Amino acid sequence: MHELSLMESALRIATEHAAASGATRIVSLTLRVGALSGVVPEALEFAFDVLREGTAAEGAELHIQQEPVRARCPCSPDELFETSGPVCLCPRCSEPTADIVAGREMDLVSMEVETP
């Protein structure tokens, strides 16, 4: 359950931004989670439910944008292909590729806040 640690970090970043902008309450948070981030969205939601209590995000909604893996194969280096991972097979030559361009991200994208 490393999602607890990660959600703790996400909430810390969010509450810092909320305080800096004079917000009284966080209404929603949007996270971007890549298919190879090693994070389970359901576990993030559970962690969020537990950790938001008593913070500025109490009662807030969590939106998770799931991102596919984007990879490149030496057989066609000018194009990217998408896959759900973790075995990233090139759709052209069917070989696995190690050149992963995106899909590990776990970002706090934005949030909605209420200001007085």
Partner 1 sequence: MISPAGIRTISIQEAVHGKNLAVAHENRERFGRCGILAANLLSSPGAGKTALLEATLRDTHVSMPSAVIVGDLQTDNDARRLGRWGATAIQVTTGDICHLDAGMVQRAMAELDLSSLSVVYLENVGNLVCPTSFDLGESLRVALVSVTEGEDKPLKYPGAFKWADLILVTKIDLAAAVGFDRDTAITNLKRVSPAARILEVSSRSGAGMEQWYETLRGRLPARERKP
Judged by the rule CB under 8 A, the positions of this chain that interact with partner 1 are 1-2, 5-6, 9-10, 13-14, 17-18, 21, 23, 27, 31, 36-39, 85-87, 89, 95-98, 105-116
Q: Which is nearer to partner 1, 36 or 81 (CB)?
A: 36
C-beta of 28: minimal distance to partner 1 in Å?
9
- The closest alpha carbon to 34, from 80, 66, 77, belongs to 66
Q: Which is nearer to partner 1, 80 or 108 (CB)?
A: 108
Gap between the Cα atoms of 44 and 30, Å rounded: 12
C-beta of 91: minimal distance to partner 1 in Å?
15
E strands of the chain, at which residues? Answer: 25-34, 61-67, 69-72, 81-83, 99-102, 106-114
Specify the residue for token string 């305080």: 19
C-beta of 53: minimal distance to partner 1 in Å?
18
